[in-house]
Amino acid sequence: GSADQKVKSKLKNPFLKVEDRRCRYRPFYLQLSSFPVVNYSNPRPCSPFDVEKKNAHGQKHIHNKQRNPTNSDREKRPNQVPPKHKRRKGYCECCMKKYEDLHAHIESEQHQKFAKSSQYQVVDDIISKFSCDFLELRENTPNVKRRKCNV
């Protein structure tokens, strides 16, 4: 590379730079406003690296949900997990494709084709070795009558 084309920039302190010792890959780095410090005054069990957030009350606000530590309180806890926001982007390993909306992708023709393909034989082969020790519930009367599972 000719020198005039080269654009060089100096890293701003404090920074951290990591590179492959053989220089075959792109270095990666981080420039911080301040280097982390162990903050002993954070209340337990907060991370010593938790940064204090300015709070209206002038109080240190290190959010830490002190949840009920006792067993007796556990029943009262919310057990439900709220659903994720509907649009989830990600990558489909089956279609080898990124998607912007999980649901939309799963419904797509390409994915549906894969979903119904024989690709899952590898899973089925394992499943076929399982046994089930659960009884089948009879429809509509799930609690009372049951018979052995026979699907």
Partner 1 sequence: MRDPAGEIGWVVTVGQPTLEPLSPGVTRVLEDEKDKEEKSPLVMEAIHLDEKPPSNAENSFKKHESNKKGALTDIEKLYQAVPQLANVFRIKGKIGEGTFSSVYLAIGHLRGGREEKVALKHLIPTSHPVRIAAELQCLIIAGGQDNVMGVKYCFRKNDHVVIVMPYLEHESFSDILDSLSFEEVRNYMFNLLRALKRIHHFGIVHRDVKPSNFLYNRQLQQYALVDFGLAQGTPETKVELLKIIPSETQQRSSAYHKSPLTMGSQVTSPTSRQLVHQSATKTANKRLSSISQTQIKQGHKRKEDPDCHCVQRSVFGEKNFNVRSSAFQGRSTVKQPRIMDIPVRKLSVKKKATSVVNNGLGKKAASSTQAHLTCDCYAKDSVCTICLSRRQQVAPRAGTPGFRAPEVLTKCPNQTTAIDMWSAGIIFLSLLSGRYPFYKASDDLTALAQIMTIRGSRETIQAAKTFGKSILCSKEIPAQDLKKLCERLRGKTTNFDNSAGDVQMHPSQEFPLTVGIGNVSDSAFHASKKHIQYQKQSTHEDGGKEKKTLQKSSDPKGWDRVPNSAYDLLDKLLDLSPATRMTAKEALLHPFFRNVKQ
30's CB contacts (< 8 A; 6+ apart) are 15, 16, 17
Compute the least distance from the CB of residue 109 to partner 1, in Å: 13
Q: How far apart are CA 140 and CA 138, in angstroms?
A: 6
Q: Which two tokens stand for residue 9?
A: 């920039």
CB atoms within 10 A of CB 27: 10
Binding flag, residue 121, partner 1 (CB under 8 A): yes
Pseudo-torsion of CA 68, 72, 73, 74, nearest 10°? 100
Compute the least distance from the CB of residue 104 to partner 1, in Å: 12
Compute the least distance from the CB of residue 139 to partner 1, in Å: 8
Q: How far apart are CA 56 and CA 52, in angstroms?
A: 12
Per CB under 8 A, the list member of 4, 56, 83, 141 interacting with partner 1 is 83
Compute the least distance from the CB of residue 83 to partner 1, in Å: 4
Compute the least distance from the CB of residue 39 to partner 1, in Å: 9
Look-up: residue for tokens 């992708």? 105
Binding flag, residue 144, partner 1 (CB under 8 A): no
Binding flag, residue 101, partner 1 (CB under 8 A): no
* Residue with Cβ nearer partner 1 (109 or 151): 151
- List 97's β-bridge partners, or say none: 92
Per CB under 8 A, the list member of 4, 56, 93, 109 interacting with partner 1 is 93
Binding flag, residue 78, partner 1 (CB under 8 A): yes
Q: How far apart are CA 63 and CA 45, in angstroms?
A: 11
Residues 5-64 interacting with partner 1 (rule: CB under 8 A): 5-11, 13-33, 35-38, 40-51, 53, 58-60, 63-64
CB atoms within 10 A of CB 105: 20
* Total site size for partner 1, rule CB under 8 A: 113
